[in-house]
């Protein structure tokens, strides 16, 4: 009889707790599934190779669906998998409705999407429509003659008008965005590589083509779209001369041209409003106003901003100051505290590994600093983007020779530096630290050859530390980066305060600690992160009986409100409930 009474008492307690959680969640305004999502970004070329050709593929992703589910994430964003000649690793698309042969076929895609959805994981498609490949049929037609129906799908400047006004190209060896084409004696525009001609969004036929492509994928069941380089899509086609010093703020003169909002409202009306999807644009302009104009709900454009200012911190061999890091993330949170929605991330396919840039990738501190950085991402307001391999603490590979690089930005940047007579040793030192290839090395699965990524020769070398930094080894260690990642993901999913709670910075002048509270209703949590390799002490508002929610070390050293943090320690307390 006592056991029955005890059982029902426990049941009532559990039901009561569940009801309290439900009441808390019901009181939150502006809830959305894409705000509560935790996104895992996969670079498909480097995730898992199933056929031994050295290139990751969709079948490889399918093999690892249970692993992805085990992380606790509920969304996956994948870099482009469309048909492409691969000049820029898939960001040069020749067929927006086809799958690159290296990755598989549409049947593989459908099976992968089905497998994700069966596991409660949504899928975000990369949409690359600022430019296409020069091997896309549209461009082949466009360059064939000046009176071709597809001519105005791209930006052309007739040679008889003289050289076009200078425009900068991010990936061109000479930095020039106009490329002469003798077939029609004209120049075409490419803000990126020569094989990536910019589409003419001023042409309504181009816009309709894009909307039809997005509808095609939405009908297949894709849950979201990430718009690559979209802030550059609209251009001032009068091509005014750029003012002196424009290169100091390229985005101001290249991005967020006036018609971009017209096009996004049209995209929302044609596509986004008709499906249960969300859209995020890479880049958010150069100001908060730009970002809000893209994503505020009453604008009826996009749903989420993905700003780059955080990625600009630490872009030098000297490293960064924590005060600068705190300032960037605090001001962006403040700007979006009442309206709009942000992404939160420290890594992606365009930057080095987060532990090498923002943490400490030495053997002594790699694991704890990786855990600390993941704690930051998963306790801040905004939708978290977690990059493949960061859950196990993967590091920069550190190439020494330009011949080792595969990234077009690195290779063409080297040619540009050589042409301009720059210090090549300095260029190579910076490239070693900041190169995009650092974040694209194959996923480290186990201790077998090539870290279990492939049975062939990998398209990019595997990091030499794969024998100790890999999924198989970390799976067995309860204190590993991997198992800590699973815990912090679950903590976020269990506590809406980390999604919707108000952010308040503490100790703004502290040179080692980043401390902040998150508050939602009656609940308040305190996050304390040591961004240094030295111990740090702080007096913090812990209250009477703080609950330690997570700790990236096995122990905690504190007395009353004083906390002594070990190097790169991360602590999260529930201080009011």
> What would the pLDDT profile of 294-323 be if each residue is shown by its tens digit?
888 889 999 999 988 898 899 989 999 999
Is a pLDDT exceeding 60 seen at residue 549?
A: yes
Is a pLDDT exceeding 70 seen at residue 226?
A: yes
The C-alpha angle 57, 383, 508, rounded to 5 degrees, equals 130
Hey, what long-range contacts does 25-34 have (CB within 8 A, 24 or more apart)?
25/496, 27/521, 28/496, 28/500, 28/520, 30/297, 30/500, 31/500, 32/278, 32/303, 32/341, 33/122, 34/75, 34/224, 34/278, 34/303, 34/304, 34/383
Pick from 16-20, 83-87, 535-539: least confident: 16-20
Residue 518 CB burial class (10 angstroms; 0-12, 13-18, ≥19): buried
The contacts of residue 83 (CB under 8 Å, 6+ apart) are: 93, 94, 95, 98, 99, 100, 101
Q: Which residue has the higher pLDDT, 6 or 576?
A: 576
- E strands, 128-174, are 156-158
**Strand pairing class (122-127; 95-99):** unpaired
Q: Which tokens is 239 given? A: 């091509």
Q: How confident is the model over 362-405, as pLDDT tens digits? A: 999 999 999 999 999 999 999 999 999 999 999 999 999 999 99
Active site annotation includes 289: no
Mean pLDDT of 484-507: 98
Query: Mind giving me the DSSP string for 76-132?
Result: EEE---EE---TTTT-S-SEEEEE-TTT--HHHHHHHHHHHHHTT-EEEEEE--SB-
Mean pLDDT of 158-174: 92
377 near 31, Cβ under 8 Å? Answer: no
> Sheet containing 513-520: which strands, arranged edge to edge?
502-506, 513-520, 523-530, 570-576, 547-551
Phi first, then psi, for residue 306 (nearest 5°) are -130, 85
Is a pLDDT exceeding 90 seen at residue 353?
A: yes
Mean pLDDT of 560-573: 92
pLDDT band, very low/low/confident/very high, at 293 (cuts 50, 70, 90): confident
pLDDT band, very low/low/confident/very high, at 12 (cuts 50, 70, 90): low
Nearest to 61 by CA among 33, 99, 5, 23: 99
Is a pLDDT exceeding 80 seen at residue 338?
A: yes
Phi first, then psi, for residue 217 (nearest 5°) are -75, -35
Active site annotation includes 228: yes
Q: Which residue has the higher pLDDT, 536 or 541?
A: 536
Nearest to 345 by CA among 315, 383, 319: 383
Q: How confident is the model over 407-434, as pLDDT tens digits? A: 989 999 999 899 999 999 999 999 999 9
Instruction: Return mean pLDDT, the chain.
Output: 93
Q: What is the pLDDT of residue 285?
A: 64
Is a pLDDT exceeding 90 seen at residue 252?
A: no
Q: How confident is the model over 256-275, as pLDDT tens digits? A: 788 999 999 999 999 999 99
Q: What is the pLDDT of residue 1?
A: 53
In angstroms, the CA 154 to CA 137 distance is: 12
Q: What is the pLDDT of residue 67?
A: 98
**Strand pairing class (562-565; 557-559):** antiparallel
Q: How confident is the model over 195-217, as pLDDT tens digits? A: 999 999 999 999 999 999 999 99
In angstroms, the CA 142 to CA 119 distance is: 44
**Strand pairing class (536-539; 562-565):** antiparallel
In angstroms, the CA 130 to CA 204 distance is: 14
Is a pLDDT exceeding 70 seen at residue 49?
A: yes
Residue located via tokens 């492939």: 454
118 near 219, Cβ under 8 Å? Answer: no
- E strands, 236-350, are 278-282, 304-306, 343-344
Q: What is the pLDDT of residue 25?
A: 57
Torsion angle (degrees, nearest 10) of CA 493, 473, 47, 361:
80
Mean pLDDT of 552-560: 84
Pick from 45-59, 63-77, 326-340, 464-478: least confident: 326-340
Is a pLDDT exceeding 80 seen at residue 2?
A: no
Highest mean predicted confidence (pLDDT) among 8-12, 29-33, 121-125, 304-308: 121-125
Residue in 282, 290, 390, 437 annotated catalytic: 282
Residue in 102, 108, 228, 407 annotated catalytic: 228
Nearest to 277 by CA among 37, 472, 557: 37
Torsion angle (degrees, nearest 10) of CA 264, 265, 270, 274:
100
Mean pLDDT of 480-503: 98
Q: What is the pLDDT of residue 11?
A: 53
Mean pLDDT of 551-570: 89
In angstroms, the CA 195 to CA 186 distance is: 16
């Amino acid at each position: 009889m006592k056991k029955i009474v005890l059982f029902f008492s426990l049941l009532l307690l559990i039901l009561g707790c569940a009801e309290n959680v439900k009441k808390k969640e019901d009181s939150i305004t502006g809830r959305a599934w894409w705000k509560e999502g935790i996104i895992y970004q996969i670079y498909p070329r480097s995730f898992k190779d199933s056929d031994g050709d050295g290139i990751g593929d969709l079948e490889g992703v399918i093999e690892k669906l249970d692993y992805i589910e085990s992380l606790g994430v509920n969304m996956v964003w994948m870099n482009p998998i469309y048909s492409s000649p691969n000049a820029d690793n898939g960001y040069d698309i020749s067929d927006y409705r086809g799958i690159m042969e290296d990755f598989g076929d549409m049947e593989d895609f459908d099976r992968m999407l089905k497998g994700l959805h069966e596991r409660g994981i949504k899928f975000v498609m990369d949409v690359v429509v600022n430019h296409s490949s020069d091997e896309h049929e549209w461009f082949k037609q466009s360059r064939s003659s000046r009176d071709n129906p597809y001519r105005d799908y791209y930006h052309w400047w007739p040679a008889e008008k003289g050289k076009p006004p200078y425009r900068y190209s991010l990936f061109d060896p000479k930095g020039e965005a106009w490329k002469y084409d003798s077939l029609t004696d004209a120049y075409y525009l490419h803000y990126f590589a020569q094989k990536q001609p910019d589409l003419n969004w001023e042409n309504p036929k181009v816009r309709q083509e894009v909307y039809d492509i997005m509808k095609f994928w939405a009908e297949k069941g894709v849950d979201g779209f990430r718009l690559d380089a979209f802030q550059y899509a609209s251009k001032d086609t009068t091509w005014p001369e750029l003012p002196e010093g424009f290169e100091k703020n390229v985005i101001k003169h290249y991005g967020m041209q006036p018609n971009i909002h017209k096009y996004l409202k049209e995209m929302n009306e044609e596509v986004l409003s008709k499906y249960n999807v969300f859209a995020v644009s890479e880049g958010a302009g150069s100001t908060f106003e730009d970002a809000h104009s893209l994503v505020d709900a009453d604008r009826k454009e996009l749903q989420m901003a993905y700003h780059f200012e955080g990625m600009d911190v630490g872009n030098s061999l000297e490293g960064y100051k924590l005060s600068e890091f705190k300032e960037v993330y605090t001001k962006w949170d403040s700007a979006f505290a009442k309206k709009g929605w942000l992404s939160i991330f420290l890594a992606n396919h365009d930057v080095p590994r987060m532990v090498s840039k923002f943490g400490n990738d030495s053997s002594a501190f790699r694991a704890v600093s990786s855990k600390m950085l993941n704690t930051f991402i998963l306790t801040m307001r905004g939708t978290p983007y977690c990059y493949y391999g960061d859950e196990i603490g993967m590091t920069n590979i550190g190439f020494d020779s330009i011949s080792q690089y595969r990234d077009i930005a690195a290779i063409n940047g080297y040619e540009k530096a050589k042409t301009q007579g720059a210090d090549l040793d300095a260029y190579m030192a910076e490239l070693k630290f900041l190169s995009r290839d650092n974040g694209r090395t194959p996923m480290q699965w186990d201790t077998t050859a090539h870290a279990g990524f492939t049975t062939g020769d990998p398209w990019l070398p595997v990091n030499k530390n794969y024998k100790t930094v890999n999924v198989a080894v970390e799976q067995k260690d309860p204190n590993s980066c991997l198992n800590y990642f699973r815990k912090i993901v679950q903590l976020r999913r269990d506590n809406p305060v980390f999604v919707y709670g108000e952010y308040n910075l503490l100790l703004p002048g502290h040179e080692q600690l980043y401390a902040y509270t998150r508050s939602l209703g009656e609940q308040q949590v305190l996050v304390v992160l040591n961004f240094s390799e030295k111990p740090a002490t702080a007096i913090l508002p812990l209250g009477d009986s703080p609950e330690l929610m997570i700790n990236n070390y096995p122990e905690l050293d504190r007395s009353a409100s004083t906390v002594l943090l070990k190097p790169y320690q991360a602590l999260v307390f529930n201080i009011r409930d």
